[in-house]
Chain A
């Protein structure tokens, strides 16, 4: 069977809707069938090898387990203590109309902006409203409204696929660094096992781009581990979308966001796994070292190298790393240096 999620242009919303629909299909088959998510450019295709039984949802253990995920509170962060009610609304909404969702998805499930539901800001930064009250210029901007099915699927996908990293920020405040991998071609069961490998790991980051770059690296590391040397392994992510939420008064607000291209990283991980493993080991060390006090320049250099690979970013990274290596007080251990093969891979990577 095939289902289609038509893209609306809001990348994080669309990605979360695709993950949400894949999770729904998995729950309907009680985890026996794992759908594959494919990015077709204008839409996401969710494909299963066999037909699915659309009667089984409310009794499914897999379905109940989805609502025990930890990320629900973060998806409804702006609702504060009201988040469980919102989570239950998502569950009720999908349980009531999942047949209709599947029927619509068979031909292409689009988003109706202007529907009855408010998109939660912590799901997608584009959903945050502008100003609450009227100003001198009489300017106000409302929340992003969407239809019931898109809202429910996006919230479900957000809880399943988004990684929320809580981080202490300046002035005793907190910030969330949110990342979500955009699938190019991914079997949902592989995504779930990669999520178990990656989402629990994290460091003290210098910024959201640093967090997104490390997340991209961990993603490539886990894809390499899962592939076990198979260059045709069907797990490919094209991008990692990210944004940050900072505490402003009593409320969280979006700060900055963007996308990191991870196609090149995954390609190296699958095509040359041995060299990639050695390269990733050194890069992971640089992130870990960069997360400590005084190592911020290392973190910044490796972040730039991964997010914008070029000769300039490589040279900057090489200069800074070399200073740490030659300075005995900085104490870079021998095993954290590049191997000959790994450095050649890095040089080809930036070319």
Chain B
């Protein structure tokens, strides 16, 4: 059981988390979508997390950096417990702290 526990390094390296992290970063930078950040930080349970992600996708449905459906399924599969949610939201917002090419992301 212990070996299946989600950790911050594994969550950060996950492809789905990366897709959502980059999408959130782009949404905050280009669309000033701070509401999604606040809602994500406020999510404590798996249900709350799913609702926050759903609202984020609805707000940014036209964004070119929108995550694919497979990413959403994978992210929801990772968010099983409250501990998983805490780790996932930390991993997602971490993508906002790194250097990135804004022009490339926008195109």
Chain A interfacial positions (CB closer than 8 Å to B): 311, 314-315, 318-319, 321-322, 325-326, 334, 337-340, 343-344, 347-348, 350-351
Contacts and interface: CB of A to CB of B under 8 A. Distances in A.
Interface string B77-89: 0000000001100
A318 B8 contact: no
Contact of A344 (B9, B34, B93, B99): B9
8 contacts: A311-B8, A314-B90, A318-B90, A326-B28, A337-B97, A337-B99, A338-B97, A338-B98
Contact of A340 (B7, B37, B96, B99): B99
A340 B96 CA distance: 11
Contacts of B94: 318, 343, 347
B47 interface: no
Judged by DSSP, the binding face of B is: helix
B41 interface: yes
Question: Contact size class for B?
Answer: 10 to 19
Interface in B33-83: 34, 37, 41
Contact of A343 (B28, B37, B98): B98
B9 A315 contact: no
Nearest to A321: B97
B23 to A, nearest CB: 14
A153 B65 CA distance: 64
A21 B87 CA distance: 49
Given A344-B9, A347-B12, A319 B41 contact: yes
